[in-house]
Structure 1
Amino acid sequence: MSNEAIDLGGNTAGEAARGGERRRGIDRVIMLLEALLKHRAPVRVGDIAKMINAPRSTTYEIVNSLLEAEMLENVGGDGHVYFGRAMHLFGWAYSHHNVHYRRIIETMDRLAAETGETVQLCGMRGNKYVVLDCRDSPGPFRISSDVGVEVPTPWTASGRLLLGHMSDEEIRAFVPAEDYRLPDGRVICEDDFLAEVAAARAQGFSETSALADRFTWCMAAPIRDGYGAIARTLCFVLPIDTPEPRRAELLSLLRDRARSLSLSNG
């Protein structure tokens, strides 16, 4: 009989340890990709090791494997790495395989062409809001947010819709206290935010002005999944001095297009 210890599941302790090491390795790959996504620029491998709190030797092994798979590529010839061509192919495959996502992108293209305004597709990532895709206004005054950058939900019109399925108590636990402080130091009252979430839930849209950016007016309409949940929003980001009749026209158009994209009436 083997001298290796047997665990209660019938696996050897050695197998369990190797399984744990593999899991840690997978976790570190995910952490590395997340770190690059948040940094949004090429990074030296040594700096990546610090970002994910992993040994340099382990980080180099992971990076070399990802380089061989073309998921990463060397940038600039000075030890910096960033996402490689395989990542583009993965994203392309997702956007072309997912029929609903293709419909959303086609709708965004048409909205931007018809209105000349900035159109965004937004959602949640953890407890933060993110722009998932964007079509910038072709005009001289451009307002846009970087795709994939995580932003506190209270700063956004979409956040008031995306948290609409939660109770006040759940929202209080979900949104960090520091997320109510805007970039210019102003603080959003938590009770006001909760009231605005309730209002957005009742009226089926949300509008905000001069929050994350004092020069913008934002409006969002829900895109519901097959269960009626709001997983994404369709948004316009407008100059804050956009006349009220124009805003009303755009809001009506936005709500109509978002309803056409929803898989459920809610």
Structure 2
Amino acid sequence: MKTIQRSLAEPEAESTKAPRRSRVSGMDRALQILDHLYTTGEPAGSYAIAKAIGAPLSTVYVIIDELVERDMLSRRPEGLIWLGPRLYHYGLVYARSLDFLGEASHVMHELGREIGETVQICGRDGDHMVVLAMADGPGHFRVMSEVGTRVPLNWTASGRLLIGHLPDAERIAVFRRSAKASPTEKAKTDAAALSELAGQAFKERLSIQISETDFLVSCVAAPICDASGACVATISIVLPEHKVVANPDLYGNAVRNASEAIESKLGWRER
């Protein structure tokens, strides 16, 4: 009997040690779908989404249908899936709750009226720069980027500033994994050179890029630093290349004054 009891007990012990198969909840799948669309920045079909997040197509179909019904996602006429209007309304409410973005947007619009060009507030999203707010200039010149646009940090003046406060080794590590060739092929990709540019721009509180992302388009940016001295965002002027070349001091001084005004309003800088 003892032998029989041991033989019956052994499989039971093994079963308790066997790892449990983890199940992904419907909520997790929904977030994976939303994160995928946010990260890629473009509509996608159900099959492509399922393949990208590693989920069964049947499961993705069901979740997408439920999210579309609730306006969390939208289905375009050609069948592609994109973020829905409900998310936009949530974003508006969240944005209103941020003192920083409120103060920064006020200064952004003032600078736009003063300088007569497009002005943006940008932040960091991992290895990317993202446009947080934007005021279009009054003229015919229009920039390709808009609120929500994400580009690699090495492409823009703002991107370099956003990690300019970090130690040199950290900046190099960020650029090594994230630097990519820009559409104009003018953006630097060498991590050490980019780190040096970022550190110098942050020290001078001014970064200028010319035609690195779009031909004949330039950006003049200044850092917005919190009380600890870290760059939490930037304010930048986006304008035609020839204007910056003709009068860099005008735009440089204007954007630096604007960044200092935001820092003062938020109590991050001594008045």
TM-score normalised by structure 1 residue count:
0.81
Question: Contact 1:221 / 1:234 at 8 angstroms: preserved in 2?
Answer: yes
C-alpha displacement of 1:190: 3.4
- Residue 143 of structure 1 is matched in structure 2 by 143
Gap change, CA 1:221 and 1:47, over 3 Å in 2:
same
Question: Contact 1:128 / 1:153 at 8 angstroms: preserved in 2?
Answer: yes
Question: Contact 2:118 / 2:134 at 8 angstroms: preserved in 1?
Answer: yes
Gap change, CA 1:85 and 1:246, over 3 Å in 2:
same
C-alpha displacement of 1:38: 4.2
Gaps of 5+ in 2: 1-11
- Residue 225 of structure 2 is matched in structure 1 by 224
Alignment of 1:55-134 (within 5 A): 55-76=56-77, 79-134=79-134
C-alpha displacement of 1:100: 2.3
Q: In 2, distance between residues paired with 1:155 and 1:79? A: 33
C-alpha displacement of 1:17: 5.7
C-alpha displacement of 1:27: 4.0
- Residue 254 of structure 1 is matched in structure 2 by 255
Question: What is the percent sequence identity of the aligned residues?
Answer: 32
Letter matched to residue 259 of structure 1: E
C-alpha displacement of 1:211: 1.5
Letter matched to residue 261 of structure 2: S
- Residue 240 of structure 2 is matched in structure 1 by 239
- Residue 154 of structure 2 is matched in structure 1 by 154
Gap change, CA 1:259 and 1:17, over 3 Å in 2:
farther
- Residue 269 of structure 2 is matched in structure 1 by 265
Q: In 2, distance between residues paired with 1:17 and 1:102? A: 48
Q: In 2, distance between residues paired with 1:36 and 1:151? A: 15
Q: Secondary structure of 1:256's partner? A: helix
Gap change, CA 1:106 and 1:17, over 3 Å in 2:
farther
Question: Contact 1:119 / 1:237 at 8 angstroms: preserved in 2?
Answer: yes
Q: In 2, distance between residues paired with 1:113 and 1:186? A: 30
Question: Contact 1:119 / 1:135 at 8 angstroms: preserved in 2?
Answer: yes
Letter matched to residue 62 of structure 2: E
Letter matched to residue 131 of structure 2: V
Question: Contact 2:73 / 2:82 at 8 angstroms: preserved in 1?
Answer: yes
Answer with 1 or 2: which has the greater Rg. Answer: 2
- Residue 5 of structure 2 is matched in structure 1 by none
Gap change, CA 1:72 and 1:182, over 3 Å in 2:
closer
Question: Contact 1:37 / 1:148 at 8 angstroms: preserved in 2?
Answer: no
Q: In 2, distance between residues paired with 1:191 and 1:79? A: 45
Question: Contact 2:225 / 2:232 at 8 angstroms: preserved in 1?
Answer: yes
Question: How large is the Cα RMSD of the aligned pairs?
Answer: 3.0
C-alpha displacement of 1:56: 0.6
Q: Deviations over 1:112-135 (max 9, x none)?
A: 223220111111111112222222
Question: Contact 1:118 / 1:144 at 8 angstroms: preserved in 2?
Answer: no
Letter matched to residue 195 of structure 1: E
Instruction: Report the count of equivalent residues.
Output: 253
Q: Secondary structure of 2:149's partner? A: coil
Q: Secondary structure of 2:134's partner? A: strand
Gap change, CA 1:32 and 1:154, over 3 Å in 2:
same
TM-score normalised by structure 2 residue count:
0.80
Letter matched to residue 208 of structure 1: Q
Q: Deviations over 1:221-262 (max 9, x none)?
A: 111234332111000112111155743222222112211212
Question: Contact 1:136 / 1:144 at 8 angstroms: preserved in 2?
Answer: no
Q: Secondary structure of 1:170's partner? A: helix
